Structure 1
């Protein structure tokens, strides 16, 4: 089995549940409160990982800056998602936001010289068409 399949499947599972839970969460608390508890949950995971690496994280300034940027953007996205699911159905909000890889693919092509095959490009186009069909 390809080495990336299992972690990708775990991501699919975690993010699938992550996309669903905010609709339930925001029935009981507002998005501003929810983001605090989400961050606390993330901190629990970070502390476990920190313990697993014997409290010795890598310290390259470029990596730290990029990781902090990733955390800020991820949390801002989660916060926006919380607001979106309070205003719309999770079926549509999660579908529309789930196409964020299209932006990642474009950025990877521009900055990392990753290539997209014709088949993959067709998949991207079909994904965009799916969003239009689902959201109208």
Structure 2
């Protein structure tokens, strides 16, 4: 097994828990409080990573900017995800938000000039239909 595949499977499993735990959290606390505690968890992972890297973190202005924007969009998205799980069924909220690759594909086509293949286009159409089915 290739190492990237192993990491992808671990990521899949952990994202599954990431989508499930918020529903349990927002049954007990507000979405905003849940976000703060998630950030504390993320800081623990970040500090551990820095320690394993021997405090040698790469830096470039563009790399920093895009990583920083990743953090902002991820955390604001997570806040809205928590709010959605508080009011809606976790199965629908996770299924709907898991369609984020549609946005990534469109952004890649617009800004990175990556072509959208016919197969991807069909997949996107099916995903949009899935949004309709899951939310109705």
Q: Bin the TM-score by the shorter chain.
A: over 0.9
CA displacement 1:71-129 (0-9 Å, x = unmatched): 01100011111011111111111111111110001111111122232122211111111
5+ residue gaps, structure 2, are: none
Per the alignment, residue 25 of structure 2 pairs with: 25
TM-score normalised per structure 2: 0.93
TM-score normalised per structure 1: 0.93
After TM superposition, give the deviation of residue 6 of structure 1 in Å: 2.5
After TM superposition, give the deviation of residue 2 of structure 1 in Å: 5.6
Structure 1 segment 1-136 matched on structure 2, within 5 A: 1=1, 4-136=4-136
After TM superposition, give the deviation of residue 9 of structure 1 in Å: 2.0
Q: 1:128 to 1:16 in 2, by over 3 A?
A: same
Aligned residues: 136
5+ residue gaps, structure 1, are: none
CA displacement 1:31-62 (0-9 Å, x = unmatched): 11111110000001111111121101011111
Aligned mates of 1:17, 1:96 — CA distance in 2: 16
